Amino acid sequence: MSAFLPYTPLNTPKAFGDQLWIVDGPEIRMDYGPTSIPFPTRMTIARLADSTLWIHSPIAPDKDLLSAIDRLGPVAWLIAPNSLHYWYVADWQAIYPGARTLAVPDLATRAKRPFRIDAMLDGEAVLPEELETVFVPGTLVNEAVFFHRPSRTVVLTDLIENFEPQRIRSRFYRGLVRLSGAAHPDGKAPIDLRLTFWPRRARVRRAVAAILSWDCERVVMAHGLSYERDGAAELRRALRWAC
């Protein structure tokens, strides 16, 4: 049995804003020291003005998901947005070899599963005109945060986690999520991740200020309940630790 009640239907694009979809995927287990912990997965899809697709944090592909993706448009961009969210990029590259892949810089040397990187998400990469990005530098985890202008949506991965306690089956994991600070309605990056940004806090503070300047209405993250309204206020609340 999975540790989290899933956001069904899985492996199905669900509209989240103008030309934007989210896809909730299967639960995975992430290495954490000598053990592993469960996480739900989610990717985000934007359809661009040229009808091509931009895919953020690709999840495990399956036949039905790929058919749904192909109905939306041709895949032109694959995004590995932080130091942890890259595992399935290699699978998507094999399926869509013409797609351009962008990744945070440390993955060029630290990825446990190699994949082709066409450009680094260090603030210099050329993006489709519908998107802006801010690079948030950490010590153990780097993250590129995106703003999708047409839908006024901020797209991120772990800088906010917002697990709903009632959707966590295990009492142990429910307590762990609450202790970490990643529980709805005050979801944010878990405390262990926040501490890894502390040595670079001046640069992180500047990056977060740039994120908060966006005219945001929605926020989608990789783990937990996304925000379909009041996104700017939720960003200020969830990122207050870095301000």
In the chain, which residues have pLDDT < 50?
none
Pairing of the two strands 153-155 and 218-220:
parallel
Position 123 scores a pLDDT of 81
Query: Distance between CA atoms of 117 and 12, rounded to whole angstroms?
Result: 27
Residue environment code for 98-114, b if the CB has 16+ CB neighbours within 10 A, otherwise e: ebbbbbbbbbeeebeee
Our CA dihedral for 189, 122, 44, 116, rounded to 10 degrees, sits at -120
- pLDDT, tens digit, 9 for 90 and up, residues 100-113: 999 999 999 999 99
Q: C-alpha angle 28/115/45, rounded to 5°?
A: 60
Q: What is the pLDDT of residues 20-36, one digit of tens each?
A: 999 999 999 877 677 67
Q: In the Cβ-directed half-sphere of 106, how many Cα atoms lie within 13 Å? A: 17
> What is the structure's pLDDT at 235?
98
Q: Which of 198, 224, 222 is nearest to 86 (CA)?
A: 222
Spatial distance between the Cα atoms of 216 and 182, rounded to a whole number of angstroms: 21
Q: Please give the pLDDT value at position 141.
A: 96
Average pLDDT, the chain: 96
Angle (CA) 154 159 163, round 5°: 95
Distance CA 60, CA 40 (A): 12
Q: How many CA atoms lie within 13 A of 28 on its CB side?
A: 15
CB 196 within 8 A of CB 140: yes
What pLDDT shows up at residue 210? 98
Q: In the chain, count of helices (H) and strands (E)?
A: 7, 11
User: Which domains does the chain show, CATH number per domain?
Assistant: 14-242 (3.60.15.10)
Instruction: Name 183's bridge partners.
Output: 163
DSSP-assigned beta bridge partners for residue 29: 38
pTM for the whole thing? 0.96
SS3 of 179-241: the string is: HHCCECCCCCCCHHHHHHHHHHHHHHHHHHHHHHCCCCCEEECCCECCECCCHHHHHHHHCHH
User: What is the pLDDT, as a whole number, of residue 30?
Assistant: 79
Q: Provide the pLDDT for residue 75.
A: 98
